[in-house]
Amino acid sequence: MMRRIAVIASGRGSNFQAVIDAIQAGTIPACCVGLITDNPEAYAIVRAEKANIPVLVIDYRSFPSRDLYERALLSAMQQLDADLYVLAGYMRILGKGIVQAFSGKMVNIHPALLPSFTGLHAQRQAVEYGVKVAGCTVHFVDEHLDCGPIILQRCVPVLETDDEDSLAERILYEEHIAFPEAIRLFCEDRLTIVGRRVTIRR
């Protein structure tokens, strides 16, 4: 069965592009029914328009409170009626109501090997901490920051010459592999959440 996915993004949308490419290649058995962005200047909008994906702009700055913004976001997500909601560089923490409404139906990618280095500037945190291995994590979204059940992780070495930018570039390459793969597994109904563990049916 062809699944419906919706993407929520705030910026350039390179992971969004990786998902678009995988859908167009037939790797992900799904159609993208919409992009939601909180940033009217996000380059992700250009990517969506090139792929003929509908765009909903819900500008955070135009709302007098976070609560009203989240009500509008929840309404937009319900309107798209997707099987899976994909956070591809969405730079806000989702409220409890949205997370609960789409429990088990929302995934995020984070540029670190969770549970290490949650939050912003994960690559900088890794370099400053002195770890020898870094990477990315695709996980289901729960009520805590970068804390939901882990679907996939991919690793890269941290070189002695690395700074935040060079490490981020190598991790991003792996993100573009891991994210479409995790979405494909979801769309093929091969993921089961058991407590904190995600099992993958072969």
pLDDT in tens, 30-57: 999 999 999 999 999 999 999 999 999 9
Chunked into runs of 10 residues, the chain (202 residues) has average pLDDT values of 95 98 98 98 98 98 97 97 97 95 98 97 98 98 96 98 98 98 98 96 94
Q: What is the C-alpha separation between 64 and 202, in angstroms, rounded?
A: 48
Q: Residue 1's pLDDT is what? A: 74
> What is the structure's pLDDT at 30?
98
Domain count, the chain: 1
Q: What is the pTM of this model?
A: 0.96
Closest to 33 (Cα-Cα) out of 46, 21, 51, 18: 51
Q: Which residue has the tokens 């994960």?
A: 122
Q: Which domain holds residue 121?
A: 3-200
Looking at residue 88, which CATH number applies to its domain?
3.40.50.170
Please name the helix (run of DSSP H) or strand (run of DSSP E) that holds residue 57, with its range, or none. Answer: strand 55-57
Catalytic sites, residue numbers: 110
Helix residue ranges per DSSP H, the chain: 14-24, 44-50, 66-80, 96-101, 122-129, 164-187
